[in-house]
Amino acid sequence: MIVAETADKIKRMEIRGAGRIARAAAEALRDHALADRATTSEAFRHDMELAASTLLRTRPTAVSLPNAVHMVMAGIERAKTADEAKAGIVSRADEFVRSSQHAVEQIAVFGSRHIRDGDTILTHCNSEAALSCIIAAHREGKEIEVFATEVRPRNQGLVTIRTLNDAGIKTNFIVDSAVRSFIHDVDLVVIGADAVTVNGAVVNKIGTSQVAHAAVEARVNVMVAAETYKFAPRTTLGELIEIEERSGSEVLPDEIAKTLPHVTVRNPAFDVTPAEYIDLIVTEKGAIPPQMAYVIIRDYLGWEIGEFSAVLGTGGFSGA
């Protein structure tokens, strides 16, 4: 029930943003474990695996989701009784939520160092991690101004401008197609990530690659803010990140679409920005050039893939 509700909210994007999705999934698994009545560790594991797969099916692109689920599910390993397994899930989930929140705070500290007094920043979509850097720079007394895009079709830009406004940051709100018109007024692009591949490509909200392309052409630096659990261990074997394609009705109302039988609405939610378009990825462990993404995967997530223990690696989720 708890898991089904959370899964539904994630699917409908009532809960959205890669970090928030991951924390909501960890919390749902914890609450599911606490409510579970299984008396053997096998039965408990079975219930939890069903819950985990319900959550994993919600949104395919944000790697934070499987990484969080796998990390929490590793709490079952080595448990001999249902109670031990339950305790394992609860402590792993709490640890994940704590370290995820701490990661955003740490990213703000590292990321704001790359924002200079007087900078004009462009951001796309609504990223908690990216905004944390911008808000930290503002709180440090740096005079900054932001361009925020609208982000069709779900208009996450509205959430971004409200947050920036509430922080007292001077903000310009522009349609997505105006990025190239304003890029020469911009000193730095700061964006989030839904996934980072082993070769440093960043999967983020649709339109990000156009923003980065315009920035590279105008010699404007691009900084990505991404927690280590957004890095994708599976890509070490060349697996591509699946790009979620959402309903066309998010772009064009059904009443209009049905009058246009020859028109198909395409609505990919994310795109891929190659590493060459990115100058820096700021994680809670420090800032790296995108070409060093493999180090994060090796040192903090582990190379192994597939099983529920896959992302534990060398224990990099200790909260930094």
Report, as residue numbers or ranges, the catalytic residues: 125, 194
What would the x/- binding string for ligand RI2 be over residues 2 to 21, using CB under 6 A?
A: --------------xxxx--
Amino acid identity at 236: T
Give the closest residue to 171 by CA, choosing from 55, 70, 182, 180.
Answer: 182
Q: Which distant-in-sequence residues (6+ apart) come within 8 Å of 319 by Cβ?
A: 95, 98, 99, 102, 103
279 touches 289 (CB < 8 A): yes
**According to the binding rule CB under 6 A, does residue 207 interact with ligand RI2?**
no
Pairing of strands 195-196, 188-191: unpaired
**According to the binding rule CB under 6 A, does residue 204 interact with ligand RI2?**
yes
Binding residue (CB under 6 A) for ligand RI2 from 125, 144, 215, 301: 125
Using the contact rule CB under 6 A, the part of the chain among 37-45, 111-119, 187-195, 233-241 near ligand RI2 is 187-195
**According to the binding rule CB under 6 A, does residue 128 interact with ligand RI2?**
yes
**According to the binding rule CB under 6 A, does residue 127 interact with ligand RI2?**
yes
Binding residue (CB under 6 A) for ligand RI2 from 23, 205, 234, 285: 205
Tell me, by CB under 6 A, how many residues bind ligand RI2: 16
From CA 19, how far away is CA 24, in angstroms rounded? 9
**According to the binding rule CB under 6 A, does residue 192 interact with ligand RI2?**
yes
From CA 105, how far away is CA 121, in angstroms rounded? 19
Closer residue to ligand RI2 in complex, CB, 18/310: 18
Closer residue to ligand RI2 in complex, CB, 196/312: 196
Closer residue to ligand RI2 in complex, CB, 76/224: 224
Give the closest residue to 272 by CA, choosing from 235, 247, 305, 297.
Answer: 235
Binding residue (CB under 6 A) for ligand RI2 from 63, 224, 269, 275: 269
> What are residue 43's phi and psi, to 5 degrees?
-65, -40
Shortest separation between residue 143's beta carbon and ligand RI2, angstroms: 24
Strands (E), the chain: 120-123, 145-149, 170-174, 188-191, 195-196, 202-205, 221-225, 270-273, 280-283, 286-288
From CA 155, how far away is CA 163, in angstroms rounded? 14
Using the contact rule CB under 6 A, the part of the chain among 40-48, 188-196, 216-224, 250-258 near ligand RI2 is 188-196
**According to the binding rule CB under 6 A, does residue 156 interact with ligand RI2?**
yes
Query: What residue ranges bind ligand RI2 (CB under 6 A)?
Result: 16-19, 125, 127-130, 156, 192-194, 204-205, 269
